[in-house]
Amino acid sequence: MRHLDIADLHAGYGSQQILHGVSLSVDRGEVLSLIGPSGSGKSTLLRTLIGLTQPSAGTVSVGGEAVDYARKADLARLRDRMTIVFQQYNLFQNMTVLGNVTVTPVKIRKRPAAEVEARARALLDRVGMGDKCDAYPENLSGGQQQRVAIARALALDPEILLLDEVTSALDPERVGEVLAVIRELAGEGITMLIVSHEMAFVREVSTRVAMMDAGRVVEVGTPAQIFENPTEARTRDFTARIFRH
Amino acid sequence: MDSVLAQAPAFFSAGNIAFVLAALWRTIAMTAIGCSLGFVFGLGIAILRRSTIGWLAPARWLAALYVETFRRVPFLVILIMALFALQPVAPQLSLLAIATIAVTLVATAFLSETIRGGLDSVPRQQWEGAAALNFGAWHTLVRVMLPQAMRVILPPASAFVVMFVKDTSLASHLGVVELTFSGKILVNRGFSPVLGFGVILVLYFALSWPLSIAAARLEKRLAAPRHR
């Protein structure tokens, strides 16, 4: 059984449809990267999976359970198993670093505060932010905020982690520190869907790569297949253009 | 000046002091209760008007009509309207209660717009982040939206309350013996206007000054949590 099964997914904003039938299957523990030009629907796919954009057609199943995005209970259950890290980090500005990481496990999942806090400190240590527990997000650099956002996501023990262009808003110098954290996570058993423009990173970290264009997945393969020997003309075009830089 | 001094002992009699303090209490009650309720109801209206649930559309429309009407009508007119609307249906209501309801009606309309502006100022990423983390509507509002919106809400809201302390003097037109009316009554009893209204002036100042300071303190605390 596939961990995540997406079949003929359509979604968009109002009358503007972005996804025109995305089908994709992801195995447990797999790191699947989505590449493709801007506007091809990569971020919309992640937003639809986590329920921030309503699908208009198609099905999503997690561990064999179909998700009905119109049902609150389904959505809550889905978000207990899957979480997302955003391009703009989306840390809560009114909470400290530690508060951002602990608020969901303690206040939403009602887990014991002391236990959650110890775990949160360990996670923050792991992403190199252990000494910033009491800082507020706006006093941190983008790279630091993004590492906190990753710790916040990990504190939820997600089965599936969505990473939406997590380095796109960062200074070039800060990209490395965030990628290093993700690299470490890959292969730890969390299923990951990564949207990224860092092609060298995608190639190194992914078990498979999916090429998206115009709201569809045009090709899926191993990094070697996609980057060296793509079958689709659209993928060839895209990778050729990327690697010319 | 001599006559003012000569009058002073008689003016500051225990009876007069009790009379003015009772009036001061009515001014405080109208402002505090009216503006507090106005904040709660205003928050409700602000949330309603931001909601996107389809079947609430008529309620949103009514809320908009209410806000736009009550912000445009002079407070005195609302006071008189409240008197004539409420007395036949609830004759047991005191004039003070009716005036407090009128304050609530106006404060709700004004504060709902202030609160709506504050909620709108919180970036979309904040509530999307909360939604993705399984926050329900209540947790999103109380833990994420309001704490951030308060920085924007508080300065105009506190200015509104400080201003409204003075506007409650219009309730004297209904016969509520609030601060201004009490001064007028004492002057009518033959005391010097310098004495009568001088005391009232000092009391209004004593009321709104600490209010402004408290608001400024609160603003500072909310505006800069990161520097604590």
- What CATH number should be reported for the domain holding residue A179? 3.40.50.300
Cβ of B125 and A51 within 8 Å?
A: no
List C-alpha distances in Å: A148 to A100, A231, B2: 8, 39, 73
Q: Looking at per-residue confidence, does B199 or B5 come out higher?
A: B199
Alpha-carbon gap: A9 to the closest alpha carbon of chain B (Å): 19
By the 8 A CB rule, do A174 and A142 touch? yes
Per-residue pLDDT for A200 more than 90? no
User: In the predicted model, is pLDDT for residue B129 greater than 90?
Assistant: yes
* Cα(B21)–Cα(B51) distance, integer angstroms: 44
pLDDT(B29) > 50: yes
How many CA atoms lie within 13 Å of A40's alpha carbon, on the beta-carbon side? 19
Contact residues, chain A, for B139 at CB < 8 Å: 107-108
**Rounded Cα gap, residues A99 and A121, in angstroms:** 11
Secondary structure class of A17 (helix, strand, coil): strand
Please give the average per-residue pLDDT across A87-108, as a whole number: 95
- Dihedral pair phi/psi, residue A21, rounded to 5°: 95, 70
CA atoms of A102 and A111, how far apart (whole Å): 10
Residues of chain B with C-beta less than 8 angstroms from the C-beta of A139? 226
Tokens 């989505």 sit at which residue? A34
Kindly give, in sequence order, each residue whose CB lies less than 8 Å from that of residue A126, ignoring residues fewer than 6 positions away: A151, A181
- Measured between beta carbons, which residues in chain A are less than 8 angstroms from residue B130? 92
B143 touches chain A (CB under 8 A): yes
Q: Which residues pair with A20 in a beta bridge?
A: A10
Q: Which two tokens stand for residue A108?
A: 């939403």
Residues in chain B: 228
pLDDT digits (tens, 9 = 90+) for A4-36: 999 999 998 888 899 999 999 999 999 999 999
| Residue of chain B nearest A162, judged by CA positions | B132
B144 and A CB contact within 8 Å? yes
Chain B residue with CA closest to A47: the answer is B132
Q: What is the rounded CA–CA span in Å between residue B203 and residue B180?
A: 10
A59 touches chain B (CB under 8 A): no
Set of chain B residues whose Cβ sits within 8 Å of the Cβ of A136: 225-226
* Mean pLDDT computed over A143-154: 94
* Cβ pair B139, A108 in contact under 8 A: yes
- Measured between beta carbons, the chain B residues lying within 8 angstroms of A156 are 133
Asked if B175 has any chain A CB less than 8 Å from its own CB, the reply is no
Is the confidence at residue B49, as pLDDT, over 90? yes
Say if the Cβ atoms of B126 and A80 lie within 8 Å: no
What tokens appear for A194 in the block? 């990564």
Q: Which of residues 92-131 of B touch A (CB under 8 A)?
A: 125-126, 128-131
A50, closest residue in chain B (CA to CA): B132
ipTM confidence score: 0.89
Band (B9; pLDDT cuts 50, 70, 90): confident
Average of per-residue pLDDT across B62-90: 95
Residue B142 DSSP symbol: I
Across the interface, of B134, B144, B147, the residue whose CB is closest to A79 is: B134
Q: Which residues of A touch B133 (CB under 8 A)?
A: 79, 83, 103-104, 108, 152, 156
Instruction: Identify all chain B residues contacting A93, using CB atoms and an 8 Å cutoff.
Output: 126, 148
Is the per-residue pLDDT at B228 higher than 70?
A: no
> Which amino acid is located at A209 in the chain?
V
The DSSP symbol for A137 reads G
How would you classify residue A21: left for phi > 0, otherwise alpha for psi between -120 and 50, otherwise beta?
Answer: left
A76 to chain B, any CB pair closer than 8 A? The answer is: yes
Helices of type H across chain A: 42-49, 72-81, 97-103, 113-126, 142-154, 172-185, 199-205, 223-228, 233-244
B156 in Cβ contact with B42 (< 8 Å)? no
Query: What per-residue confidence (pLDDT) applies to B6?
Result: 84
Taking the C-alpha atoms of residue B93 and residue B96, their distance in angstroms, rounded to an integer, is 8
Q: Compute the count of residue pairs across chains A and B with CB atoms less than 8 Å apart.
A: 55
Residue type, A244: R
A130, A97 contact by CB (below 8 A) = no
Mean pLDDT of A124-153: 93
What's the domain range around A15? 4-244
CA atoms within 13 A of residue A150's CA, in its CB half-sphere: 32
Per residue in B181-226, pLDDT tens? Answer: 999 999 999 898 999 999 999 999 999 999 889 988 888 887 655 5
- What average pLDDT does chain B have? 92
Structure-token pair, residue B108: 């709700």
Q: Which pLDDT value is given to residue A245?
A: 54
Domains of chain B in start order, with CATH, are: 14-53+60-223 (1.10.3720.10)
Q: Closest Cα of chain A to B157: distance in Å?
A: 20
Q: What pLDDT does A67 receive?
A: 94
Structural domain total, chain A? 1
Q: Which residues contact A176 (CB under 8 A, 6 or more apart)?
A: none
- Tell whether B221 lies on the interface with A, counting CB pairs under 8 A: no
Quote the CA–CA distance of A58 and A167 in Å, as a whole number.
30
Average pLDDT for A116-125: 95
Cβ separation of B139 and A93 shorter than 8 Å? no
Q: Fill in the DSSP letter of residue A59.
A: E
The pair of structure tokens assigned to A82 is 């899957």
Nearest CA to B169 out of B26, B20, B71 is that of B26
Q: Which two tokens stand for residue B190?
A: 């033959």
End-to-end alpha carbon distance in chain B: 52
Distance from CA of B18 to the nearest CA of A (A): 46
Of A80, A136, A152, the CB nearest to B225: A136
